[in-house]
Amino acid sequence: MSVRLISQAAAAVLLAVMAQPGALAEDACIPGGKVTTMPETASEYAAMCLPHVGVPPTVDCGAGVRIPIHVDGVEVFESVGPRECDTPDFKGNCNVGSRIARVQGKAADGSPLDDVVWAYLCRSAGKELFKRGIASVQMIGHNKTTGATCFFESPDGVGDLRQAEYLHFDDQGLLAGKLPGPDSEDFDDAFIPPPPGVQCVQCHQNNAFLHDPWIDGAKLPSDPSEPVLPGWVDPEAPYWVVGGTHWDMRTPHIEGNACLDCHRAPTRTARLLEAGKVHVNEFMPPRRPGSLKEEYAALLACHDDGPENTPGCDWLIPPGGGCPGGVVEGSDQGGEGGRIPTGRLPGDSN
């Protein structure tokens, strides 16, 4: 992988813009050409996203593909306890009932957008918690040519459980129900943009779609070898977030590290998975799990300690929205001690 080198001065300008919504320097390259921050409502966010990823789809959970739960290789149809299934979700849960769908992007006039894909996830927390209104639906739109990405969240993240009013469990024990689309006056009841203080890239760090064995268990009906969740793998793929030009998009980079031959280093994502006891070395790299343990450990060490304390490691900013991205030369920018949040949970020792 060859990477562009960004000067420290240019990087400082870009990182300053990322850190301070509304800040703008004359020589800064801003993804999409304009500093943006998240609006208050989903409908306002949909209008902001329209030029980049088209119209959000109308979510129909019943049309999604089941995310299967297996115990000792056998699919089960009732939820089991945390970490008691073969492939728990990132929190370690084994709840039956989740569904996922992939939808091609479309413009306001209904014409297809070949470079845009949407994915939505109807996430089950189990039937017992659903009785208390606990379930969630999120959707992501991504333009693979420009890197533009939009995240629509479930209001349960801010304590609002209204989304569950549109959902039910069908006779297969799976989440079903159609949510208001962007042309409905109730769209703002069903979805919210990322709320203040939340950066979706804290989990979706190296690209729009976060993969693990749980979610990749759902396969396209038209091609059972391919997960429903899009999986474009490219270490130089563009990626930026509409409304999140100030978000921290950095990933650790070690030249020659074999993990980076296929993708950027999602170390915050990895810390999140490890905290849920979903161990990355057990499924990555795909054809030889665990064969890159040392390379993976080196990236995590850089993530935790910061490049200024890790010889040979730098921050990498992805290209996107007309901006080149690349390695940040000599950068000690960032949070306390130059580090970025690890994503570790209290008491996690991994």
| Interval 183-204: pLDDT, tens | 999 999 999 999 998 999 999 9
Cα 150 to its chain centre, rounded Å, is: 10
Mean pLDDT of 73-90: 96
Residue in the structure block whose two tokens are 């990132």 = 90
Above 60 in pLDDT, residue 155?
yes
Residue in the structure block whose two tokens are 């080196």 = 298
pLDDT digit string, tens, across residues 124-150:
999 999 999 999 999 999 999 999 999
Which pLDDT score is estimated for 246? Answer: 87
Q: How confident is the model at residue 19 (pLDDT cuts 50, 70, 90)?
A: very low
pLDDT digit string, tens, across residues 275-326:
989 999 999 999 999 999 999 999 999 999 999 899 999 999 999 999 998 9
The residues, any chain, with a CB within 8 Å of residue 67's CB and separated by 6 or more, are 98, 99, 100, 214, 215, 217, 218
CB 237 within 8 A of CB 147: yes
Q: Is the peptide bond before 112 cis (omega within 30 degrees of 0)?
A: no
Q: How confident is the model at residue 349 (pLDDT cuts 50, 70, 90)?
A: very low
The Cα–Cα gap between 345 and 350 comes to 10
The Cα–Cα gap between 122 and 176 comes to 8
Q: How confident is the model at residue 329 (pLDDT cuts 50, 70, 90)?
A: low
DSSP-assigned beta bridge partners for residue 169: 175
Domain boundary assignment for the chain: 1-35+246-350, 36-244
Mean pLDDT of 29-48: 93
Q: What is the pTM of this model?
A: 0.87
Mean pLDDT of 339-344: 34
CB 266 within 8 A of CB 205: yes
In this structure, of 31-35, 178-182, 226-230, 253-257, the range with the lowest mean pLDDT score is 31-35
Mean pLDDT of 1-22: 43
The Cα–Cα gap between 136 and 156 comes to 7
The Cα–Cα gap between 317 and 325 comes to 5
Above 70 in pLDDT, residue 9?
no
